[in-house]
Structure 1
Amino acid sequence: MSGVPPLTRSGSPEQPGSGRTAVVTGASSGIGAATATRLAAEGFDVVLGARRMDRLSELAGSIGARALPLDITDAASVEAFAAALDRVDVLVNNAGGAFDANTVADADLDSWARTYEVNVLGTVRLTKALLPALVASGAGDVLFVSSTAGLVTYEGGSSYTAAKHGTHALVGALRLEMVDQPVRVIEIAPGMVHTEEFSLNRLRSQDRADAVYRGVREPLVADDVADCIAWAVTRPHHVNIDLMVVRPRAQAAQHKVHREDV
C-alpha cells in the first residue's frame, strides 16, 4: 500500500535509509549538519565531509556517523575522500556559500573566483569522483542544495547568483546525461534560511547579518531544508524530485519579504 513503510522479516517497519550510505558535504554547520542528523535518524549510514574536523567529529560522535576531512576545492582532498568510501548511495552536495554583497561595479574578482570555485567547480569535482559509486549502487541519488538565487538575480548578489545559476545549470545537464543510469538527480533550492553562518560569512558583520532576518516571522531554519532533503531521497526510486523551491511563507519572492514592525 502506498505510504506504508516496508516491513523487515521480523515484521517491524524498516527505516527508509536502512542499508544505504549517504555522503553529506559542508556538514560541520547549518543545513549540512541538520541534514546529516536527519538522515542518520532515517537509518542511513552517514559520512560527513567538511574542512573543520573538530566540529565534524563532534557531530559524527553524537549521531553515530563517520567524519572525513574534505575540501571540495582541493583535488587531492577529494581524491582521498572518495578513496575512503566503500559505497555511496546518496550524495548531498551541500557545501557552498556567498562571500560578498558587492555590486558588479565594485566586484571583488577574488571573491567571485572563490564563490565559483566552491559552488560550481568544487561541486563538479566531488560529483565526478563519486558518480561511479552512485551508478554501482544500482539506485543512487545525487542531490544538490542550490538556492533561489540560482533562479533569479538581485542587486548586491551578483557573484552568488552567478555561481548558483551555474549550479542550477550543472544539475539540469547532469540529469539529461544520467537518464539511462540508475541515478536520480535532485535539486533543492531554498530561499531565506536563518543559519548561524551564511549571512555572517557574506556580510562580515553580526549586525548586518541579523538585519537580513529582522522582522521576518519564522524564516526557514536548517531543519526545514533537511526535512525536504530527507523526503526527496526517501521517495520510491522511480520518483525524481527534479526541483523543489522552498521559502518561508513571509518570502513571496526573492525581493518580496514581509517584515513586521520590531
Structure 2
Amino acid sequence: MDTKQMRKELQKRLQKDGRTFSYDRDKDVLRIENTYTHRGLSVSLPEIVAKWNDRKEEAIEEVVYYVEEALNVMGKKHSLSGQERNIFPVIRSTSFPGEAREGVPFLADEHTAETRIYYALDLGMTYRLIDLKLLEEEGWSAEYVREVARFNLRSLPTELKKDTVAGNDFYFLNTNDGYDASRILNEKFLKKMEQKIKGEMVVAVPHQDVLIIGDIQNETGYDVVAQMTMSFFAGGHVPITALSFLYKDGGLEPIFIMGKNRKS
C-alpha cells in the first residue's frame, strides 16, 4: 500500500458528517478537522504506511482509533478542578508543536536537547495537553500543575523486564499507560536504578510507551542500544527520539553513535 491508497482508506473509515479532510502534498500529511470548530489533527502518511508494512490491518485500526478519540476530546470542554489525580507530565520531542492550532501555547518545560516536558489531563482512553488558556480559565498556576503532575508520576508503577545482550543488561518499562517515557522524570527511580548498574547507565525514550535503561558493560553495548532505540522509535505511535542518553550525576547527556563500537 502506498500513501495515496492509505489516504483514501483513512478518509473512507473516518468520514462522518461535520468532518473535513485536507491533504498537504509536500509533507504527505492528511489533516482531519471538525468542519465547524476547525479543530483537528494531522497524520503523517509515510509513517502509517511503514507500520502497515509490518502490522497490516492492525496499524490502520490503531490510527483510526486514536484519531476518533482525539476528535472526541476536542469536541468537549474540560476542567482541571477536581481532576488533580489525573494530571501527568508527558515527554515529547523538541520538534513537537509548542502551541495548539488555535495559537494557544501549551504549558511546557525544557528537558534535554532532544526532549521537552508537556502536561496532560488524563481522560481515560486519551488525554488533553494543558495549555495556558485552560490554566487562566481555571485560575491555576503553572507551578501547581508541575507539582501535581510530578507527584502523580511518582505513584506510577516501575516494574521492569530484563534482557541481556552481548554481556550488557537492558531493562524495559512498557505498561502502555501512556506515561512510560515520562518515568524518565522520576529522579528517585533513576537513582535507584543507578545503584544496580555495573557499567555505564544509558536511558532511552524512543516513543511514549517505552522506557529503556541499559547497563552498558562493554563497547558492543552502545551499538546494541543504538539499534534497539532506532527500532522502537520507528515502530512507536508517538515517536520521541532515536537517541539515547548517558545518565550521570543526575543529568542526561545525549549519546551519538558514530559507528560500530564508537560513541561521542
Q: TM-score, normalised by structure 2?
A: 0.26
- Which structure has greater helix proportion? 1
- Which structure has greater strand proportion? 2
Higher relative contact order, structure no. (Cα contacts within 8 Å, ≥ 6 residues apart): 1
Q: Which structure has the bigger radius of gyration?
A: 2
Q: TM-score, normalised by structure 1?
A: 0.26
